[in-house]
Amino acid sequence: MDAHQTFVIVGAGLTGAKAAETLRSEGFTGRVILIGDERDHPYERPPLSKGYLTGSAERDSAFVHAPSWYAEHDVELHLGQPVVHLDKKTRTITLGDGSTLIFDKLLLATGSEPRRLDVPGTDLAGVHHLRRLAHADRLKHTLASLGRENGHLVVAGAGWIGLEVAAAARGYGAEVTVVESAPTPLHAVLGPELGAVFTDLHAEHGVRFHFGARLTGITGQDGMVLAATTDDGQEHPAHDVLAAIGAAPRTALAEVAGLELAPGEEGGGIAVDASLRTSDPDIFAAGDVANAEHPLLGRRLRVEHWANALNGGPAAARAMLGRPVSYDRIPYFFTDQYDLGMEYSGYAAPGSYDQVVCRGDVGKRQFIAFWLREGRVLAGMNVNIWDVTEQIQQLIRSGRQVDPDALADPSVPLTSFLD
């Protein structure tokens, strides 16, 4: 029966490529069609603000599979082709060139896109976003020339991407100012104390921060950026500006098709159940665009994490094949900035925790931080300490109450909380 079926995946990012891979590895013999609007073969995005941007990794290292993999696995790959319409009644999608395809099962893996700055001057040539390889190609070139010419980069937003680019820019020798409306970097995720770890790290590397301020405009001359202004009246010299103010899920197709969406205050995205199925039984969504019922957390969650693309794509593929799926991975995220490497597991929304416990040396940036509610670990972040993610995730999954003093004591093995 499989052989007569057509499974279509819209969005040729990590989620889409991994879903296609899983359909084949699970023995699906029908047509697998993977469609992406970018021209590059499916690639992973973390290197775009890290190894590839800094110059320590080759461009090719970002690709999910070798270009030949798709034909070898009979995956019909359409690149540079936006899907512009989805009709769920007739099970039809329309591509940008007007052609149509009928599917038996569909996976929406359309990811997210950078939010745009809504201020005057964003049309100037030196204003950047970072989502695509093509953006990284251009930004890499820009950072190198800023470094050579003692130029200034203003980064709007002290989130993960803003900070990683700030670190890369300092590596090239560019002057960097980060403008952030919150009082510390990553304020919503880490809270003030741990956000300060990143302030100190970057300040030691020569990054200037301007907290509590918003960018109100970018001024230029002859199409070139000259300065960025903030709502407190300050003017920051700039040759280039990076807008790193977050991303929005790409839900346009789902909206047109009338699929259920999650409310904006719950992170938006396409609403899916724990098997990553949308409100239509033959349509699935995974990765950045999906807002999934999380069996363990007992709530809906949309995350923009590499690991969620890596694991969510395969989970959706199994669900498309009719296998029982309950996608309950603990959210996981990582970053690399200068000599700091960090992994974050779990989910601790602002206001959801009542205690933060640190184990190790925060000053030396070698520690694990735990976010707790009533003695139960909601999330853990290991900084320059490795091979503890599994234990942290087990601790979160167990839901057990732990003694915070013992948790803070590095001489008490993490495994002892799991016995």
Residues that bind ligand FAD (CB under 6 A): 10-16, 35-38, 45-46, 48-49, 82-83, 109-112, 130-131, 161, 250, 253, 287-288, 304-307, 309, 333-335
For residue 288, the minimal CB distance to ligand FAD (Å) is 4
Report the residue number, 159 or 220, with the smaller CB distance to ligand FAD: 159
**Toward ligand FAD, which CB reaches closer, 62 or 154?**
62
- DSSP character at residue 124: S
What type of residue sits at position 183?
A: P
d(CA 336, CA 163): 10
Characterise 259 by phi-psi region: left (phi > 0), alpha (psi -120 to 50), beta (else): beta
Given the complex with ligand FAD, which of 237 and 246 has the nearer CB atom?
246
Minimum Å gap between C-beta 280 and ligand FAD is 17
Minimum distance of ligand FAD from residue 53's CB (angstroms): 8
299: nearest Cα among 332, 328, 258, 334: 328
Q: Which is nearer to ligand FAD, 344 or 417 (CB)?
A: 344
CB of 81 to ligand FAD, least distance (A): 6
List, as own/partner pairs, every contact residues 360-368 make where C-beta atoms lie below 8 angstroms and the sequence separation is at least 24, other chains included.
360/385, 360/410, 362/197, 365/197, 365/201, 365/340, 368/392
Q: Which is nearer to ligand FAD, 13 or 126 (CB)?
A: 13
Enter the tokens of residue 410.
């590095």
CA atoms within 13 A on the CB side of 351: 0
CB 356 to ligand FAD: min, Å: 21
Which of 130, 324, 317 shows the shortest CA–CA distance to 241? 130
Choose between 106 and 174: whose C-beta lies nearer to ligand FAD: 106
What is the greatest pairwise CA distance in the chain?
Answer: 67
Residue with tokens 């960025």: 228
Cβ atoms 105, 318 nearer than 8 A = no
CB of 207 to ligand FAD, least distance (A): 18
Q: Which is nearer to ligand FAD, 48 or 174 (CB)?
A: 48
Compute the distance between CA of residue 256 and CA of residue 237 in angstroms, rounded to an integer: 43
Rounded to the nearest whole angstrom, what is the least distance from the CB of residue 346 to ligand FAD in the complex? 13
Strands 105-108, 6-10: pairing kind: parallel
Q: Please give the DSSP secondary-structure letter assigned to residue 64.
A: S
Closest approach, Cβ 416 to ligand FAD, in A, equals 29
Q: How are beta strands 283-285 and 235-237 bridged, if at all?
A: unpaired
Nearer to ligand FAD, 217 or 268 (CB): 268
Supply the minimum distance, in Å, between the C-beta of residue 268 and ligand FAD: 14
Q: How far apart (Å, rounded) are the C-alpha atoms in residues 105 and 83?
A: 15
Cα–Cα distance measured from residue 48 to residue 367, given in angstroms and rounded to the nearest whole number: 27
- For 311, residues 6+ apart whose C-beta sits below 8 A from its C-beta are 18, 327, 329
Q: Which is nearer to ligand FAD, 128 or 250 (CB)?
A: 250
